[in-house]
Amino acid sequence: MTEPKDIVLKESEEVEGTPIEGPWLDEVSSLEEVIDYYERIGFQATHLGKAIEIWKKVEKRRAEGKEVRVFLGYTSNIISSGLRELIAWLVKEGKVDVIVTTAGGIEEDFIKALKPFILGDWHVNDALMREKGINRIGNIFVPNDRYIEFEKYMIPFFERVLEMEKERGKPLTASEFIYELGRYMDEKLGKEKERSVIYWAYKRNVPIFCPAITDGSIGDMLYFFKEERGDRELIIDIANDIVKLNNIAVTAKETASIILGGSLPKHAIINANLFRGGTDYAIYITTAVPWDGSLSGAPPSEGVSWGKIRAKADYVEIWADATLVFPLLVWMVMKGR
């Protein structure tokens, strides 16, 4: 019979590896030095530390002249938040080659160039908010006058697109529609456009794909435009965009996929990479869990089973709110030591 002491104090094998250790604050003098410890802290801090190293590796290869196409995917709440400006900076500085987002990721970027969103609270009377015409995204308030102002720009823009399509003899793809929206911002808006993702994507010729472009205020405005004019000619083509997106992946020597959140942008990016045998680098930041089988919560290893991420790829998933960790990740990669 095994003695209780032998059960509790069972002998173990020696384990080699990185000791778990956090910063001793008397010995560090900057946030950068604190973050240098992240890989050794454990839990999600270690995952953030690994994400920093993966993205730094991508940046180093690009600096050496190696082709690594960076795909960035994000859901609309990322643009609702202050991460919008970080993404716009990345595009401006040439750190991103391809973007995939949702309809809100397009329209909210434009709207913020007209009027800001306002910091509110999580705990409010939402019925009263509705009476006041104030929409809520978590603890971010968006008064309805933003959408009223948005319509003033979008209706003339739709008229321009309709004329372009008549001249071309074919509809614009969603990515072309967004590119023209960037040109429109450049013409119509002042200095406030310079914090816009769409604007810098237009200036830097970075394609933005949005397969579900009607799933938001843009769709609402299209409805008003078509119903009020009885229009049946204005069409946005998504079929040819899938060819363009897939070919951007297929023709790349290497790819990196940085994805904030889940949903359609996540799948559009990794599915495009399926056609080349999977992405070479992947960084996921999400709060979604895998237990319901949704794509949003699927970890990178599940993508390996589909061939959307290479078996030998460098990948990591950070299970955290992107507003907490993405600024740290960008700063350490782009400005850190």
- Catalytic residue numbers read 308
* CA distance to 91, 160, 187, 220, per residue, from 183 (Å): 16, 12, 6, 22
Burial 161-193, CB ≥16 within 10 A → b, else e: bbeebeeeeebbbbbbbbbbbbebbeeebeeeb
* CA distance to 162, 186, 231, per residue, from 169 (Å): 10, 25, 16
Cα dihedral sign for 81, 82, 83, 85? positive
Q: How many CA atoms lie within 13 A of 86 on its CB side?
A: 23
Phi, psi of 57 (to 5 degrees): -60, -40
DSSP-assigned letters across all residues of 143-163: ETHHHHHHHHHHHHHHHHHHH
Burial of residue 65 (CB within 10 Å: 0-12, 13-18, 19+) is exposed
Neighbours of 288 (CB within 10 A): 18
DSSP-assigned letters across all residues of 196-216: -HHHHHHHHT--EE-TTTTSS
Neighbours of 141 (CB within 10 A): 17
Q: Rounded to an integer, what distance in angstroms lies between the CA atom of residue 227 and that of residue 215? A: 17
Bridge partner residues of 119 (DSSP): 140
